[in-house]
Amino acid sequence: MISSRWLRSALVGLCTLATAPLALAQTDARPDLGGIWTNASRTPLTRPRGVDSLVVTAEQAQEIVANMSIAGISAENVAAGPEIDPETGAPPAGGQDFGLRGYNLFWTDPGSTLARVKGEFRTSFVIDPPDGQIPRRPDPQGLERQGFGARYVTGVGDASGPEAIPIAERCLIGFGNTAGPGMLGTLYNSSYQFVQTDDYLMIMVEMVHDARIIPLFDSAEEARDGRRPSELKQWLGDSVGWYDGDTLVVETVNINPLQMSQSAIPITPSGKITERFSRLDENEILYQFTVDDDNIYAQPWTAELSYYPLDGNIYEYACHEGNYAMPGILAGARRLEAEQAAQND
């Protein structure tokens, strides 16, 4: 059986000579997204408390960053540096930078400045509503949320079984919405490779090597008709794309419910996330996404950030190779259960 995608490609090829000027005009308008990019910055998704303006000066941006913590490590300790001395051995348990938290500063690389978008320093990714806050309903329906933020502190969290450990910690997908939809920079590895063809956009994310393979169509109607069966609830969702002038539009639905329960940008099965990619110049891709779900949010909301060329390569993300965390966590939980059982005998 000949697929509709194959037939469409063949017909386009047969018509190329007859419509070459038109085809070239359409192709030239499409953004060239190919390359290796980064969205690393210290800007949060929502506007911090006490900050009123979306856009700040370079001096204000520097002051804001100087007072930010990283992964729970205070701004004072961030300024002092990682304080790692291999000659003194491990820091004491309960120390500020190790033994209490799952990270020290040696392992973090979230960026050194606020995000720059269209030449402006931004205090939040959310641009609509204008206050920079996500308009969550007080009683969202249809979504079971799980909170795992406390797991940055060691010794905290459910270790009863593999499924009790967050999907990012299990290296099933990256954490912090790094692969989206709604792609955000995070604590480290905020690097991306975009590979663009006539029929697909592939976004390979450095963290966990998540890969989004997005089929591209001639219109929104054709794209929506080309979706996968709804029974396939994939990590990162069912994304389809089309061009709107010089902007690539990607619409995603049907994201895996387990991913959504642990996401910073959740939607229910009836919600959708629409991303827009525009090439502003050779050094900047403008990236916007709009989240639309009446079950969770009082109104659709939009975030905006930029991608800049990465001066370097994307390296292997060896998340579980040689990782003894899972057997260690489960062995500890079984040992605790055995000790409790012995006390009850």
164 closest CA partner among 336, 325, 330: 330
What confidence score (pLDDT) does residue 44 get? 95
15-19, 115-119, 263-267, 338-342: range with lowest mean pLDDT: 15-19
Q: Which residue blocks in the chain are alpha helix, DSSP H?
A: 4-14, 20-29, 58-66, 75-80, 220-225, 257-261, 325-344
Contact (Cβ atoms closer than 8 angstroms) between residue 66 and residue 96: no
Q: pLDDT per residue over 65-92, tens digit each?
A: 999 988 777 787 777 766 666 676 666 6
Nearest-angstrom CA–CA distance, 25 and 48: 44
**pLDDT tens, 217-259?**
999 999 999 999 999 999 999 999 999 999 999 999 999 999 9
CB 38 within 8 A of CB 115: no
Backbone angles phi, psi at 122, to 5 degrees: -110, 140
